[in-house]
Amino acid sequence: MKLGVNIDHVATLRQARYVGDIDAHNVEPEVLRAATICERAGASGITVHLRADRRHIQDADVYRLRQQIGTKLNLEMGNTQEILEIALHVKPDDVCLVPENRREVTTEGGLEVAGQLDALRPTVLRLREAGVRVSMFIEPSREQITASHALGAEMVELHTGAFANSQGEAQLAELARLRDAAIFANSLGLQVNAGHGINYTNIALIRELPNIVELNIGHSIVARALFTGLEQAVRDMLSAMRQP
């Protein structure tokens, strides 16, 4: 399993104090520096979500990361014309299409792919024509996987939020759903990724899932980084992912 580190919350901290030019006097912490540290610690990619409300990552961050990082850039985005045009200009390695709702604290559920085929088709097509690999952030259901495959996405990212927010038997049931979804998506030839709410504890269950190529993890790593530093927090997650 590879690790993509979502560094949105480095920008959340910056925006809590500085809104405007990301290069203005005194602005910190630097998003690019965080990305470089994650890469040095062994991350396989950097993930950012350019939200319509620009609450954390700014356009300039995305352009700078594209130019400066040495691994791959995974851009998470809602299906809007404005963000699509930016994505086509930036040409990240991967785009992950996510649902976006202005009032949510974080991405709350998976993208309803099956119910929005007509709205998503042109976006997937344009990204693929630009050489960008497309992923769909979906609930672990066969219906959403089938729809993602039908649209021509190369990857799905299984939403692990329900798993992360449950405990005991309920959590094991969510894990079983993830397992079934990972096997099914893999059988269709899709690359299977997973993310949301994965932390240093529940990774012990997630790492047992079959067919998962990449995890995208943000909050728990950035939170730990306050106490250990970012490099150590990424290294700790990588070793937790690999423990037998």
Report 21-80 residues binding ligand PXP (CB under 6 A): 49, 76
CA distances from 200 to 13, 208, 227 (A): 22, 14, 14
> Does residue 157 touch ligand PXP according to CB under 6 A?
yes
Chosen residue from 41, 153, 198, 230 binding ligand PXP by CB under 6 A: 198
Angle at 68 between CA 100 and CA 227, to 5 degrees: 70
Query: Which residue bears the tokens 């930036």?
Result: 90
Token pair belonging to 51: 């939200």
Q: How far is the CB of 97 from ligand PXP (least distance, A)?
A: 9
List phi, psi (to 5°) of 67.
-75, -30
Of the residues 139, 149, 196, 214, only one is catalytic, namely 196
Angle at 177 between CA 175 and CA 182, to 5 degrees: 95
> Does residue 139 touch ligand PXP according to CB under 6 A?
no
Token pair belonging to 204: 């012990």
Verify whether residue 149 is a known catalytic residue: no
Of the residues 9, 39, 49, 149, only one is catalytic, namely 49
Q: What is the DSSP string of 20-87?
A: S-TTSTT--S-HHHHHHHHHHHT-SEEEEE--TT-SS--HHHHHHHHHH-SSEEEEEE-S-HHHHHHH
C-beta of 39 vs 214, nearer to ligand PXP? 214
String of contacts with ligand PXP for each residue 75-104, x by CB under 6 A: -x-------------------x-x------
C-beta of 11 vs 22, nearer to ligand PXP? 11
Q: How far is the CB of 45 from ligand PXP (least distance, A)?
A: 12
Chosen residue from 44, 141, 202, 216 binding ligand PXP by CB under 6 A: 216
Taking a C-beta distance cutoff of 8 angstroms, is the pair 94, 155 a contact?
Answer: yes
Verify whether residue 219 is a known catalytic residue: no
User: CA torsion angle for 211, 216, 222, 228 (degrees, to 10)?
Assistant: 30
Verify whether residue 49 is a known catalytic residue: yes
Q: How far is the CB of 102 from ligand PXP (least distance, A)?
A: 15
| Interface ranges with ligand PXP (CB under 6 A) | 6, 8, 49, 76, 96, 98, 106-107, 137, 157, 195-198, 216-220
Active site (catalytic) residues: 49, 76, 196
